[in-house]
Amino acid sequence: MNPNKEKAEIIEGTDRYVQLNKEDSASLFEIFTREELSPLNQ
Number of C-beta neighbours around residue 34 at 10 A: 7
**Predicted TM-score (pTM) above 0.75:** no
What φ, ψ does residue 4 adopt, rounded to 5°?
-130, 80
Q: Is the C-alpha dihedral spanning 17, 22, 26, 27 positive or negative?
A: negative
Please report the pLDDT score of residue 3 as a whole number: 62
Please report the pLDDT score of residue 17 as a whole number: 86
User: 1-41, pLDDT tens digit by residue?
Assistant: 566 667 888 888 888 988 888 888 888 888 888 888 666 55
